[in-house]
A and B are shown apart, each in its own frame.
Chain A
Amino acid sequence: NAGVTQTPKFQVLKTGQSMTLQCAQDMNHEYMSWYRQDPGMGLRLIHYSVGAGITDQGEVPNGYNVSRSTTEDFPLRLLSAAPSQTSVYFCASSYSEGDEQFFGPGTRLTVL
């Protein structure tokens, strides 16, 4: 099993550009989530999904969209990138809500 995979690993955007961060898992997990990690602030939840077709907002959802058309994939879309979105983004999945989460390797995003 590949576990949780994320692409790309690094990305540089200009202010106003849009892009999609990809996340996929091959463990048949129902629960998937996106976090951002900023220095000294731990992880903050952006959006999460409890199953295909079901998504909801986390702590810091503004400026991001998600969809969950399949169990395996949970892409995160930045609609119009801003310097405040410079961060490291982690995708995670778990069998169900509240279980141990498996994390991807992260995407380091810089917005100029």
Chain B
Amino acid sequence: SQQGEEDPQALSIQEGENATMNCSYKTSINNLQWYRQNSGRGLVHLILIRSNEREKHSGRLRVTLDTSKKSSSLLITASRAADTASYFCATDAHDYKLSFGAGTTVTVRA
């Protein structure tokens, strides 16, 4: 079964706005990763946050992790049309298996 669940399922925003999506998971983890998938393409790794980290930044991306609530959030600031994609969280729970959620579909309107 899938460990992570993203919320919302879909998000539509205006160019320049921020986009926030959340991921909840069920068991203790070693790390949590976020990936992006453009339509019809393979997934691209965005950011990895370890269980002992609370926040991480990469360019316009900000990821937080709250292990007490078993949740993570991905913030994309100043969104662009090129950010239109599906975003997935994936958890590494010490069992050699990366478990993906169903994803959040983000549409950035011009």
Give the tally of cross-chain contacts (CB within 8 A): 59
Whether the pair B99, A45 counts as a contact (CB closer than 8 A) is: yes
| Total A residues in contact with B, Cβ cutoff 8 Å | 27
Query: Which residues does A use to contact B, with CB under 8 Å?
Result: 4, 31, 33, 35, 40-45, 48, 50, 56, 58-59, 90, 92, 97-106
Taking residues whose C-beta sits less than 8 angstroms from the other chain, chain B's interface range is 20 to 34
| B contact set with A: CB distance below 8 Å | 1-2, 30-31, 33, 40-45, 48, 88, 90, 92, 94, 96-103
- Evaluate contact between B97 and A59: CB separation under 8 angstroms: yes
Contacts of A33 in B (CB 8 A): 98
B2, B43, B92: which contacts A44 (Cβ < 8 A)?
A: B2
Q: Chain A residues with Cβ under 8 A from B1's Cβ?
A: 59
